[in-house]
Structure formats: structure tokens, C-alpha cells
């Protein structure tokens, strides 16, 4: 007997009156005194469930089927027929139901058919994929991941796996997670009474990477167009709805690219993937729209139809000052925009995605190309409503003399960046790149405000349990 997924049954409009088999879990079930049980079954392939009609004539009806509860796993074989119910297309008249896994204690099963809060689901992150909500998020996440890869493949970019373990802080600041095999109760000390990292596994102090950008630049200066896509780690003691300690980053580097090229690429990329996800995952997005009571479809269609605003950093500061919403002493000529500033610009003022360019060098990374005014760098941040910044990038400084000066200004050790400096010695070229926060983009697409709810197993401050 042919095995089908519930997605295949609905998508391919399988002919009825055929005998088929399906595997999955029970979402709901209803027992009638007349000796009939109706089972709503799901298998995770789509949002739809499939109704199973089981009669008491089945040999294991009273022994097993009548005792089935939400969460049990089963294999069903029977005849696929048109359903008399208006809200569903098909049902299976069961000829055989094999129980694979029972719920040991139904009264203690955490994921019942009732509505659960996001906080409750986070406490049960190993079981929350069984909910419609997290199932929809997961399918959208998978589609978005694949679509991003597909976009860059079509554009002639090569995927490069960059190191997760590094000895460099590519951002030039911020906290990093240390990687070590030391026994914490017996850490070796050198002659200066400091930790002797030469005896550690890598022979030096090592960390989990906050970005693969520097390594990616090495390949951009050989293959022209490259990207990486994987997890990165930041030990910021920040417990907000926008921060994770472990998250996924898409990083892109392009030789011979200017800041304008970078803005054009980022806008076309976002519109391409958002359009594809909206079309491919429309049913899941509509479900989230109803659950969250947000007009996600209209918002995404507006995102696709309007050109992003592009403004200078100094213009953004001027808009914030004129708004009267923020105190003048906070809005100096050189401040790193806060989430409140970003939200005002994209949600109240422009009401559309906005790209801010040419930030002051004082709070930007050492590798960003210095502009001719010697005060700003050729950088960009892309902001979207309800989330804020989802993408940041810049032209990279290709002049070795200027790069060395910036490394010194940022208080970094020039010797630690010897190989990165080599790229400026041997056939240097202008190049640019950006990093896209995958969870933040997913948060924007789905309308889910907290990135913990779009990450399968969120890692945050004081939380690495499951």
C-alpha cells in the first residue's frame, strides 16, 4: 500500500477511493458511543490535518484505539474518500491502525490541544514543534533558508564554510565565548601569574566566532563573489526580544563592489526571498496572521512593492531632532542609534524599510572603509518596521596604511591581524560585504516579535538547557 504525506494528499489532489497509508501523530480525537472514533492526524508536512474514521469493527479498537489520546503516534491504512465536512477535503476510512507510541501519562502531557502562551512553549522547547504555531514557523524557516541559498547560487556566488572557532574578534569589540579544554580547577599559570594559553588545545586563547567576515574576505579576494551561512555566537548580557547568544548569520562579500552595489544587492535579495516565501508558505503565513492578529500578507506585499528609503546618517539624526521625541543632549552628532530611534524612523516617519549610510567612524568597526571626510565610514544599516536593524554592511578598507591606522585607533593588536593585512599587500581590491541576521529577518516575515520564538532551541542569558 502506497505511503503518502498529508502535504502530498492535499497538494497533488490524489484520486479518491484509493487505498493508502499515512504516518503521524494525533492532534485531536473524538469517541462516539456508537462505536466510531474520529481522529485528526498530522505529520508536520503542512498545516493541514487529515481526519481518520475508525469503526469498532477494527480488531484493536477496544484494546488500543479507544484509548488513544492527543500526541500518540500511529500508522493508518485505509481508503481515501471525499470528506462530507465543508472545512476538509479528504478523510480516510481506516482498515488498519497500528499504534506506534502511546502517551505514558496523558494527564501530564505538556502539549495539549488548548492554546499555550509563548513563555510556556519556551519552557517545553523539545515538544513545542508539535504545535501548529511552531510547525508553521519551522516550515517558513526552512523555506527561507533554502531560498537564500538559491538566490546567491543564481547570482554566481560561492558558498564558503567559515570557521566557528577563532582567535580573532572580527568586530573589534564585544564579549566572546571562550573555547578551552582546561580543567577549571587546575588552570596552568605562566611566569607572570597569568593563564598560560600555550598549554591549551589550540596553543592560544580561542573563542567562538562572532562573525566569519574576515575569513570570507580572503575568499572574496580570490573568487570575487562569496557568502557564508551558519551559526555565530555573541556573549552579550542582553535579555531583549531581539537578542540571542547563538544565532544564524548570512554573510556576503563581493570584490569590486561599492556601497551602492551593496545596497542594491541587499534590497533585491530581500525582495526576492520574501516574495518566494510569501508564495510558497502562504497557508502557514495566513495561519500566523490569524493567530497574531496582524495583517502579515498586506505588510509583506507592501514590502515588495515599495523601494527602500536611503538616507545619510546625519539626515537621520536631523529627523530625530526635529521630531521632538528625543532629548537634544542624547541626539548628538555622533551617537549609535538605539532601537527606539530605529523604530521611530521606520515605523513612524518613513513607514517602510530604510537604509542608513555613512555612519561616524567612532562607533563602527576598524575594517570599514574611511570616507574622504576622514570622519565617516562607507557603511550601511538596513532597518525594517517592528524589528529594527536586520542587516549591516560596508565597503572594506583595502588600503593597508589606513587599515593599520584604524586598527591602532581601535586599540587592537596589529600582529593578531597579520593574515588579514596580507590581503592588502598582495593584489588588494575594493570590496564590500554585509551580514544578515537570519532570525531577525524571520521575525519580520512571520510577525513574531521575539526571536526566541523563531529559533528552534534559543540560547540566551542563563539559558542553554535543551
Cell, residue 155: 547570482
Q: How many CB atoms within 10 Å of residue 159? A: 12
Q: 267: closest CA among 111, 358, 391, 376?
A: 391
What pLDDT score was predicted for residue 301? 97
What pLDDT score was predicted for residue 465? 73
Kindly list the averaged pLDDT for each block of 10 residues, start to end, along the chain of length 466: 89 83 95 93 95 96 94 96 84 96 92 89 93 97 98 98 90 80 93 93 94 96 97 87 91 98 98 98 97 96 96 94 76 79 93 96 94 96 94 97 95 93 96 97 96 93 82
Cell, residue 299: 505588510
Q: 122: closest CA among 244, 9, 226?
A: 244
What's the burial of 280, exposed, middle or buried (CB within 10 Å: 0-12/13-18/19+)?
middle
Asked whether 284 and 7 are in contact (CB, 8 A), the reply is no
Distance of alpha carbon 360 from alpha carbon 373, whole angstroms: 10
Q: How many CB atoms within 10 Å of residue 441? A: 23
Please compute, for residue 174, the number of CA atoms within 13 A of its CA located in the half-sphere on the CB side: 22
Please compute, for residue 145, the number of CA atoms within 13 A of its CA located in the half-sphere on the CB side: 14
What pLDDT score was predicted for residue 174? 63
What's the burial of 190, exposed, middle or buried (CB within 10 Å: 0-12/13-18/19+)?
exposed
Distance of alpha carbon 226 from alpha carbon 161, whole angstroms: 10
Please compute, for residue 257, the number of CA atoms within 13 A of its CA located in the half-sphere on the CB side: 28
Helix (H, G, I), strand (E, B) or coil at 316: helix
Distance of alpha carbon 221 from alpha carbon 227, whole angstroms: 12
Distance of alpha carbon 389 from alpha carbon 353, whole angstroms: 10
Distance between the two ends of the chain, CA-based, in angstroms?
A: 38
What pLDDT score was predicted for residue 457? 93
Phi, psi (5° rounding) for residue 101? -140, 125
Amino acid at each position: 500500500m502506497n505511503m503518502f504525506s498529508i502535504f502530498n494528499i492535499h497538494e497533488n489532489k490524489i484520486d479518491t477511493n484509493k487505498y493508502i497509508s499515512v504516518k503521524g501523530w494525533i492532534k485531536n480525537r473524538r469517541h462516539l458511543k456508537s462505536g466510531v472514533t474520529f481522529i485528526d492526524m498530522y505529520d508536520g508536512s503542512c498545516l493541514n490535518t487529515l481526519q481518520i474514521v475508525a469503526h469498532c469493527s477494527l480488531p484493536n479498537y477496544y484494546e488500543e484505539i479507544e484509548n488513544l489520546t492527543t500526541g500518540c503516534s500511529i500508522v493508518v491504512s485505509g481508503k481515501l474518500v471525499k470528506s462530507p465536512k465543508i472545512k476538509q477535503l479528504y478523510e480516510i476510512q481506516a482498515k488498519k491502525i497500528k499504534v506506534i507510541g502511546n502517551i505514558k501519562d496523558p494527564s501530564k502531557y505538556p502539549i495539549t490541544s488548548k492554546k499555550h502562551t509563548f513563555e510556556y512553549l519556551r519552557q517545553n522547547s523539545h515538544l513545542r514543534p508539535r504545535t501548529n504555531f511552531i510547525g508553521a514557523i519551522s516550515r517558513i524557516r526552512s523555506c527561507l533558508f533554502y531560498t537564500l541559498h538559491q538566490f546567491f547560487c543564481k547570482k554566481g556566488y560561492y558558498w564558503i564554510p567559515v570557521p566557528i572557532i577563532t582567535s580573532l574578534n572580527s568586530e573589534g569589540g564585544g564579549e566572546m565565548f571562550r573555547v578551552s579544554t582546561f580543567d577549571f580547577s587546575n588552570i596552568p599559570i605562566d611566569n607572570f601569574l597569568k593563564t598560560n594559553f600555550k598549554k591549551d588545545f589550540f596553543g592560544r586563547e580561542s573563542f567562538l566566532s562572532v562573525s566569519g567576515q574576515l575569513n570570507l574576505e580572503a575568499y572574496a579576494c580570490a573568487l570575487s563573489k562569496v557568502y557564508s551561512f551558519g551559526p555565530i555566537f555573541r556573549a552579550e548580557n542582553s535579555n531583549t526580544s531581539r537578542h540571542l547568544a547563538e544565532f544564524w548569520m548570512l554573510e556576503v562579500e563581493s570584490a569590486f563592489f561599492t556601497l551602492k552595489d551593496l545596497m542594491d544587492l541587499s534590497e533585491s535579495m530581500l525582495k526576492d526571498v520574501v516574495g518566494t516565501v510569501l508564495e510558497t508558505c502562504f497557508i502557514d503565513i495566513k495561519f500566523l496572521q490569524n493567530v497574531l492578529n496582524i495583517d502579515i500578507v498586506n505588510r509583506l506585499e507592501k514590502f515588495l512593492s515599495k523601494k527602500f528609503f536611503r538616507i545619510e546618517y546625519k539626515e537621520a539624526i536631523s529627523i530625530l531632532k526635529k521630531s521632538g521625541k528625543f532629548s537634544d543632549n542624547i541626539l548628538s552628532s555622533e551617537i549609535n542609534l538605539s532601537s527606539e530611534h530605529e523604530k521611530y524612523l521606520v515605523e513612524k516617519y518613513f513607514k517602510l524599510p530604510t537604509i542608513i549610510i555613512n555612519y561616524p567612524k567612532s562607533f563602527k568597526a576598524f575594517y570599514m572603509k574611511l570616507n574622504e571626510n576622514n570622519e565617516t565610514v562607507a557603511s550601511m544599516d538596513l532597518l525594517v518596521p517592528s524589528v529594527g536593524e536586520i542587516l549591516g554592511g560596508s565597503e572594506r578598507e583595502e588600503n593597508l596604511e589606513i587599515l593599520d591606522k584604524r586598527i591602532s585607533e581601535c586599540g587592537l593588536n596589529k600582529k593578531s591581524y597579520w593574515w588579514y593585512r596580507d590581503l592588502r599587500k598582495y593584489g588588494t581590491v575594493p570590496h564590500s560585504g554585509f551580514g544578515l541576521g537570519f532570525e531577525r529577518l524571520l521575525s519580520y516575515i512571520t510577525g513574531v516579535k521575539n526571536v526566541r520564538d523563531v529559533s528552534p532551541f534559543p540560547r540566551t542569558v542563563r539559558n542553554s538547557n535543551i
